[in-house]
Amino acid sequence: MSVAENLAAILDSIHAVASECGNDKVELVAVSKLKPVSMLKEAFEAGQRLFGENYVQEMLEKAAEVPEAQFRFIGHLQSGKAKQVVQPKNVIAIDTVDSLKLAKKLDNACSAIGRTIGVMLQVNTSGEESKSGVAPADAKQFYEDVKAQCSHLNIEGFMTIGSPEDSLKPEPEAFRVLAGIRDSVDPTLALSMGMSSDYEAAIRMGTSYVRVGSAIFGARPFAGSVPK
């Protein structure tokens, strides 16, 4: 199937699940990391406008080539790259803010160029050492600190990545934990959870964004040398 056909199938699935459970605010982030810009353009021409990228340089290049598209950065971000990542106006959010240090770097970078940018605060709901994010117990204080100290960051909500085992469950524990954190802080905040393997469960559990890549663009290359 083509990218356009895959995209249509995913959107049909999202809309069906969203209608079934009454979640009318869910939005698709098409994750085009490690895929050529031609595939991103195919999705754009099919109507997709919001894309997710994991690597700064790759995102900057794609943002320049497809300026009408909008991008959310969804990979681990080193604080030294804060100035780069906020430069393009069509980079609208950083979904992986996992420390106050990084938040302050982004805030300073935005202040220097006179803009604000959306952010999601990343929570490590699975407790895996390989995943970034603050501990669930620290999430509320983290939110309060960023809100108080970073005036150029618009906190949209919370983001997490579930464990592979958890994603097989009808109601993944990682999603339940994140939704509970959001509800305790501010029920109007957004959630970003769910990928190709578990986006349907995430929708049923109230997510605002699902991050779907391989189901749209096909399997990615095995990890080797990746863009920085």
Q: DSSP letters of 87-118?
A: -STTEEEEEEE-SHHHHHHHHHHHHHHT--EE
Quick one: pLDDT at residue 225?
45
Residue 121 CA: distances (Å) to CA of 1, 66, 88, 179, 213: 35, 27, 21, 13, 21
Q: Domain of residue 190: give its range.
A: 3-217
Quick one: pLDDT at residue 222?
57
In a domain, 228, yes or no: no
In a domain, 227, yes or no: no
Instruction: Give, for 65, the enclosing helix (H) or strand (E).
Output: helix 56-65
In a domain, 225, yes or no: no
Contacts of 206 (CB under 8 A, 6+ apart): 23, 179, 191
Q: What whole-number distance in Å separates Cα of residue 138 and Cα of residue 140?
A: 6
In a domain, 222, yes or no: no
Q: What is the CATH number of the domain that holds 9?
A: 3.20.20.10
pLDDT values of the chain reduced to their tens digit, one per residue, 228 residues: 899 999 999 999 999 999 999 998 999 999 999 999 999 999 999 999 999 999 999 999 999 999 999 999 999 999 999 999 999 999 999 999 999 999 999 999 999 999 999 999 999 998 777 788 999 999 999 999 999 999 999 999 999 998 777 767 788 999 999 999 999 999 999 999 999 889 999 999 999 999 999 999 998 775 554 454
In a domain, 224, yes or no: no
Pairing of β 91-97 and β 50-53: unpaired
Give SS3 for 175: helix
The model carries a pTM of 0.94
Q: Are the CB atoms for 179 and 191 separated by under 8 Å?
A: yes
In a domain, 188, yes or no: yes
Count up the domains in the chain and report the number: 1
Q: How many CB atoms lie within 10 A of CB 90?
A: 16
In a domain, 38, yes or no: yes
Quick one: pLDDT at residue 2?
96
The H helix count followed by the E strand count for the chain is 9, 8
In a domain, 223, yes or no: no
